[in-house]
């Protein structure tokens, strides 16, 4: 099976990494729209246009299904995109929301981009949900500044100290797991892992990873090497 994924940048690679751990024998085609990141503060109309361009590109690569590996697109445009395209589309947020609904967690924290938090997509009945927009995190992660900005990150997350679990509502945020779990002792929920656990794929014999980005620089290449531990082909679209 040829599986397409897209995101504004490296966040979607965290989702791809989760997929590769469980389903390594597929052909994966990834597109990261690094020239237009971050997506978190863009208007819905622009997000829909950017998502459509990404999906059209992946369709041109003859993928069989597409995963929207972006919390912002999933929370704002998923239903409109489903109406536009007949190809199977999967969003990154629904599996996480379904998991939380069935869970025993009652005090839940959520961090995400401005658009994701404004959508209220994580508001679940009978749960105490504390949500916070953390727009500075994406550029920190993309620019490899996590250690440099450690204190700033920890300060942003102090309000979640009494939560049972913190939902990483942006696919970039798994890059912050170590800071959150080691120093803040918070349990975290990775949307990529929830998505993978919700899928049932038959492993093929062929394996392929093609990574396309609208802009490639040194920071991006370092991040790719840290996230994707399988052989891959890198291209600038």
Catalytic: 194? no
C-beta separation of 19 from 53 below 8 A: no
Q: What Rg, from alpha-carbon coordinates, does the chain have? A: 17
In Å, what is the CA distance from 36 to each residue of 7, 96, 214, 228?
10, 26, 8, 22
Catalytic: 18? no
DSSP string for 13-40: HHHHHHHHHH--SSEEEEEE-TTS---T
C-beta separation of 171 from 192 below 8 A: yes
CA geometry: angle 226, 170, 134, nearest 5 deg: 105
Q: Determine which one of 18, 70, 77, 194 is catalytic.
A: 70
Q: Determine which one of 18, 77, 163, 170 is catalytic.
A: 170
Cite the active site residues: 70, 170
């Amino acid at each position: 099976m040829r599986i397409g994924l897209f995101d504004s940048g490296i966040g979607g690679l965290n989702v791809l990494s989760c997929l590769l751990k469980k389903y390594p024998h597929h052909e994966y085609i990834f597109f990261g729209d690094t020239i237009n990141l971050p997506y978190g503060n863009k208007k819905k109309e622009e997000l829909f246009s950017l998502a459509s361009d990404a999906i059209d590109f992946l369709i041109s690569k003859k993928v069989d299904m597409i995963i929207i590996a972006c919390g912002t697109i999933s929370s704002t445009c998923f239903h409109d995109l489903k109406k536009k395209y007949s190809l199977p589309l999967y969003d990154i947020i629904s599996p996480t929301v379904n998991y939380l609904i069935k869970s025993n967690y009652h005090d839940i924290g959520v961090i995400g981009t401005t658009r994701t938090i404004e959508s209220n997509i994580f508001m679940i009945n009978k749960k105490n949900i504390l949500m916070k927009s953390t727009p500075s995190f994406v550029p920190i992660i993309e620019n490899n500044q996590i250690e440099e900005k450690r204190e700033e990150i920890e300060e942003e997350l102090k309000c979640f100290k009494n939560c049972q679990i913190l939902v990483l509502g942006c696919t970039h945020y798994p890059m912050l797991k170590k800071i959150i779990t080691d120093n803040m002792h918070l349990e975290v929920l990775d949307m990529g892992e929830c998505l993978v656990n919700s899928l049932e794929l038959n492993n093929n014999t062929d394996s392929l990873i093609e990574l396309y980005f609208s802009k490639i620089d040194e920071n991006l290449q370092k991040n790719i090497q840290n996230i994707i531990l399988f052989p891959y082909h890198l291209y600038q679209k």
